[in-house]
């Protein structure tokens, strides 16, 4: 069989914009695994693809929006969440997913993240955390671990990183999970769970960046990094997100938050209906 | 590698094990090696062949020991490998007994 025909036989082929394949990501980059898990989750949920919207910001992982065969938008840097919020509020029947990077979501877009979580906007955020700005050559960012080497921390990073799951939980997210790109099955399950829940969700995906971050930090090949994930990951469901660390010798993974709370969109629609009723009564 | 059994299972004549077909889109592969490293049955190996990208894609050493777990399909960042069940073909259970 010709390779192009074989590509179309892949079980997830219909979810990809084939004309854009192969994607631009480097050999062993975790972004492809994240995309794979997301599409497999969509497939298993038998989602109506006309109801799915994917929004991303700028960065290597931001390309994901252009690769998925659903309505999608690649926003300006840091603005994926406000764009997604608008989409969701304008059409509550859509499932809106933000797929973006640690830099996009937590540096330039950090304020949008905390307030969307606080308001419990019904969007699902999947963050590829590769501990640096991959696309622009590997600058340090808000998740770069203390002491790590990047192009802009030539003497080692002296800033303390965010713990993303703690930040999301403290800001009000109803579903918060973290996996590495090695735990593909559990990652897929968390993505499915987030898609089925009402409210703001964060799925953090610890992801290799073999070409830049991992190379600067002498972590070896992508396979070495994945083996390291295997060695040091500890699954702790329901663990206190404040204590769920990401360290050289330990990465706590699992589901940390799974609660129910009315979403912003629901409260907005209820309020609007109440006010309209009241106005009708006054006429 | 055929599995060693210490006795013939009682239902060996009736039981059919699904057979796997592993499909590799060689020119999509970037040679990361994840599928080879993490296959629980060690079914894959790096090939000598160089693809269009100048990378060595995986090759199948023994399709019959594939457990159809689909881990290679799920871990491949390039959508370059997938495994499906061979239609209409089954390994008869005791075929593998040595
Ligand atoms: C307003 C603006 N500022 C800065 C940039 C440059 N820039 C592009 S991508 C990026 C960071 C991306 O990092 P991350 O979100 O972690 O994605 P990654 O590339 O690591 O996947 C930056 C700073 C930009 N495109 N726009
Ligand atoms: S620079 Fe890093 S994050 Fe970007 S595609 Fe390459 S490996 Fe992936
Ligand atoms: S996981 Fe995919 S890209 Fe990596 S070696 Fe296997 S087939 Fe190639
Ligand atoms: Mg990044």
Length of chain B: 98
pLDDT over 60 at B96, yes or no: no
pLDDT over 60 at B98, yes or no: no
Compute the distance from residue B25 Cα to the ligand 3 centre, in Å: 9
Give the largest CA-CA distance in chain A: 72
Question: Which residue(s) pair with A99 in the sheet?
Answer: A126
The proportion of chain B whose per-residue pLDDT surpasses 70, expressed as a percent, equals: 87
Name the 3-class secondary structure at A274. helix
A103 lines ligand 1 (CB under 6 A): yes
**Confidence band of A107 (pLDDT split at 50, 70, 90):** very high
Give Cβ neighbours of residue A240 (< 8 Å, ≥ 6 apart).
Answer: A256
Q: Which fold has domain B20-85?
A: Alpha-Beta Plaits (3.30.70)
pLDDT over 50 at B92, yes or no: yes
For residues B59 and B87, which has the higher predicted lDDT (pLDDT)? Answer: B59
Mean pLDDT of B72-97: 80
Global ipTM: 0.95
Write down the pTM of the prediction: 0.94
Distance from CA of A211 to the nearest CA of B (A): 12
**Confidence band of A275 (pLDDT split at 50, 70, 90):** very high
The gap from C-alpha B35 to its chain's centroid, in whole angstroms, comes to: 10
B68 touches chain A (CB under 8 A): no
- Compute the distance between CA of residue B49 and CA of residue B35 in angstroms, rounded to an integer: 16
Question: What average pLDDT is seen over chain A?
Answer: 97
Going by C-alpha positions, the residue among A105, A91, A95 that lies closest to residue A57 is A105
Going by C-alpha positions, the residue among A42, A57, A43, A119 that lies closest to residue A88 is A119
The gap from C-alpha B79 to its chain's centroid, in whole angstroms, comes to: 15
What pLDDT shows up at residue B3? Answer: 67
pLDDT tens digits for range A13-45: 999 999 999 999 999 999 999 999 999 999 999
Domain residue spans in chain B?
20-85
The proportion of chain A whose per-residue pLDDT surpasses 70, expressed as a percent, equals: 100
pLDDT over 50 at B94, yes or no: no
Strands B58-60 and B44-46: antiparallel
A-chain residues near B32 (CB < 8 A)? 27-28, 222-223
Residue of B34, B79, B85 best to disrupt the A interface, most CBs of A under 10 A:
B79
Q: Do B32 and A27 touch (CB under 8 A)?
A: yes
Name the 3-class secondary structure at A170. helix
pLDDT over 80 at B89, yes or no: no
What pLDDT shows up at residue B17? Answer: 81
Q: Is the peptide bond before A151 cis (omega within 30 degrees of 0)?
A: no
Question: Which residue(s) pair with A111 in the sheet?
Answer: none
CATH for the A14-282 domain, from 3.40.47.10, 3.60.20.10, 3.40.50.970, 3.30.200.20: 3.40.50.970
pLDDT tens digits for range A123-166: 999 999 999 999 999 999 999 999 999 999 999 999 999 999 99
**Confidence band of B37 (pLDDT split at 50, 70, 90):** very high
């Amino acid at each position: 069989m010709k390779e192009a025909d074989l590509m179309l036989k892949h079980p997830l082929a219909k979810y990809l914009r084939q004309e854009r394949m192969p994607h631009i990501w480097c050999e062993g980059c975790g972004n492809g695994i994240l995309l794979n898990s997301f599409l497999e989750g969509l497939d298993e949920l038998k989602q109506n693809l006309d109801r799915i919207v994917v929004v991303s910001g700028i960065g290597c992982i931001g390309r994901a929006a252009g690769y998925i065969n659903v309505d999608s938008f690649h926003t300006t840097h840091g603005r994926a969440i406000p764009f997604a919020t608008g989409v969701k509020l304008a059409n509550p029947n859509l499932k809106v997913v933000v797929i973006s990077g640690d830099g996009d979501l937590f540096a330039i877009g950090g304020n949008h993240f905390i307030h969307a979580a606080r308001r419990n906007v019904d969007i699902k955020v999947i963050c590829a955390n590769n501990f640096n700005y991959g696309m622009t050559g590997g600058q340090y960012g808000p998740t770069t671990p203390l002491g790590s080497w990047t192009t802009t921390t030539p003497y080692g990073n002296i800033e303390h990183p965010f713990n993303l799951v703690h930040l999301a939980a403290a800001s009000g997210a109803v579903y918060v999970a973290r996996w590495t790109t090695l735990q593909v099955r559990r990652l897929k399950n968390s993505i499915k769970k987030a898609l089925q829940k009402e409210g703001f969700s964060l799925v953090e995906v610890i992801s290799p960046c073999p070409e830049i971050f991992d190379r600067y930090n002498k972590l070896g090949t992508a396979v070495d990094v994945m083996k390291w994930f295997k060695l040091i990951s500890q699954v702790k469901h329901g663990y206190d997100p404040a204590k769920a660390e990401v360290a050289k010798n330990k990465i706590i993974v699992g589901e940390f938050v799974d609660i129910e709370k009315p979403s912003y969109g629901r409260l907005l629609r209820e309020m609007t209906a109440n006010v309209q009723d009241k106005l009708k009564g006054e006429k | 590698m055929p599995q060693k059994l210490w006795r013939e299972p009682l239902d060996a004549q009736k039981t059919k094990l699904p057979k796997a077909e592993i499909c590799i889109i060689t020119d999509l592969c970037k040679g990361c090696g994840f599928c080879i490293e993490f296959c629980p049955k060690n079914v894959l190996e790096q090939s000598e062949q160089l693809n269009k990208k100048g990378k060595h894609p995986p090759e199948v050493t023994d399709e019959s020991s594939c457990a159809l777990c689909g881990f290679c399909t799920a871990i491949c960042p390039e959508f370059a490998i997938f495994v499906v069940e061979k239609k209409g073909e089954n390994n008869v259970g005791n075929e593998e007994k040595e």
